[in-house]
Amino acid sequence: MILIDTALERAEAEGRPIRVGMVGAGFMARGIALQIIRYTRGMRLVAIANRTLDRAVQAYTEADVPDEAIRRVDSPTALAAVLEAGAPAVTDDALLLCAADGIDVILEVTGAVEFGAQVALAAMRHGKHVVTMNAELDGTLGTILQVYARRRGVVFTLSDGDQPGVTMNLYRFVRGLGVKPVLCGNIKGLHDPYRNPTTQANFARQWGQNPYMVTSFADGTKISFEQAVVANATGMRVARRGMFGPTVPSGTPLADVVHDLYPLEALLEGPGIVDYVVGATPGPGVFVLGTHDHPRMQHYLNLYKLGKGPLYLFYTPYHLCHFEVPNSVARAALFGDTVLAAVRPTVEVITAAKTDLRAGQTIDGLGGYMTYGLAENADVAHAENLLPIGLAEGCVLRRDIPKDGIITYADVSLPSGRLSDQLRAEQDAMVWGAR
C-alpha cells in the first residue's frame, strides 16, 4: 500500500491517471465506483458497462456524478468521442469497453463465468489488464486465462479486498518472513448447504444484495471457490472433499482454538491445505498457519508472542471488498503485479445436488435452488469426471441425482457454443493431456 499510494499520487500529479472501464453495476460494483470516483487519486472510472443501462447510470450518480454529465453510448465511435472529451460513459455493450483505446484496465465485477470469460478474453486481446472480483471465473478457468494473459503481455488477476486477495497478501507476507505457510484459512459466520434464494431473501433485501449471491455465501459455494483459487495460486490442496470446515461457538477467538481444529499431519505433510472455520473471531477475516524449521527463529517467534510452535498463527481481521479494489488496479497497471494468479488447478469446485434432482431438469445458477459447490482436489475431480459447478448452469440432467449426490459430466448435456466450455477443454488438455 505504501508503494501504491505514492505511485498513484505521482500519476495524479503528472496528469496520467489510470483509466478504468468497469463491467457490472451491481451492489459491489457501485461501491467500487464510489471508491474510485470520490477517494482514489491517480485513477479515473471513465466508463461502465451493464446490461441494464440505468444501473450503470446509478453507479455514477451514487458517487455524486450528475446525471446530465453522463453520456450514453452504443458504438465505438461514440465511446471514443466521450472518452476523448473526458466525460463518463455508460453502455450496455461490455465489449465496447474492452476494445476502446482510452481505457487501460478492465474491472470485471459480474460473478458470471461465461460472460466473465468473454469479457476477460476480449479485454486481453486488446492489450488491457483485467482485474476481477469473480472467484467463480478464476476457480473454473483461471489457469488457462493466465496463459492468455501472458501471451498478450498483460495482467489477469483477482482483486484485493475479497478474502482470496487478502489471503494471498498475508501468504506472501508470511512466506517473506521465512515462515512456511501450511494452511490458508478463511473465517465464516454461517454454512448451510441447503440455503436457497428464498431463505436468504430477507437478508439480501436488508443489504441491497442479490439473493443468489447471498445464497452462494451461505451454502458453501463461495467459500469453496475462495479457497480453491488460493490453492491454485499456492499449490495447496484440500485435506478432504468439502474441507474440514470446523464450527466453533460464535465469537470464539481464533487464537484460542485454531491450533486444535485441523489434524497436524494434514498440515505438515505435503504442500499444505486450504480450509475454513465457522464462528470464530475476528470474522470475516483470514488467517495463515505456518511453521519454521530454525530453532533460533522459533525462539524469536515465541518472544514475539506467537507461541512455541510448531504452528504460528498470522491473521488479517477484516476484508474490505470494494475499498481495496483500486489497489489491485494500480498493482496491475503500474507494477505488473498480480494479487492472485492461478498456476495450476490443484483444487476444483465440484457440483452437488441441493435437493433431489430429476432427469430433464436444467440446472440453475450459482447460489440457486438446485446445487451447491464443494472443494475437491483437482486430480480426483479429473479422475472421476466431476462437473465443475462453474459450468453447471444451463446443463440439462440426463438422469436423476439424489440429494447430496455429486454430478459428473456424464450426468449432463452441456449447452452448445459456450466459450467457457471451450476454454475449460483447452485448460484440461494442457494440464491433464487428451482423454
Q: Which pLDDT tens digit goes with each residue over 347-388?
A: 999 999 999 999 999 999 999 999 999 999 999 999 999 999
Low-confidence stretches of the chain (pLDDT beneath 70): 1, 434-435
Residue 145: per-residue pLDDT: 98
3-state class of 378 per DSSP?
helix
Residue 435: per-residue pLDDT: 62
Residue 370: per-residue pLDDT: 98
d(Cα 279, Cα 366) in Å, to the nearest integer? 24
d(Cα 320, Cα 141) in Å, to the nearest integer? 25
- What is the tens place of the pLDDT at every residue in 147-184? 999 999 999 999 999 999 999 999 999 999 999 999 99
Report strand pairing: 105-108 vs 286-291: unpaired
In the block, residue with C-alpha cell 476481477? 132
In the block, residue with C-alpha cell 483461471? 142
Here the cell at position 54 is: 440505468
Q: How many CA atoms lie within 13 A of 48 on its CB side?
A: 32
Question: Which class for 347: exposed (0-12), middle (13-18), buried (19 or more C-beta within 10 A)?
Answer: buried
* Entry pTM: 0.96
3-state class of 43 per DSSP?
strand
Residue 352: per-residue pLDDT: 98
d(Cα 125, Cα 129) in Å, to the nearest integer? 10
Residue 201: per-residue pLDDT: 86
Residue 241: per-residue pLDDT: 98
In the block, residue with C-alpha cell 515465541? 302
Residue 152: per-residue pLDDT: 98
Residue 52: per-residue pLDDT: 96
| Amino acid (1-letter code) at residue 414 | L
E runs forming strands in 201-346: 247-253, 273-281, 286-291, 312-316
Task: Please choose, from the candidates 214, 170, 178, the residue with its C-alpha nearest in 3D space to the C-alpha of residue 196.
Answer: 214
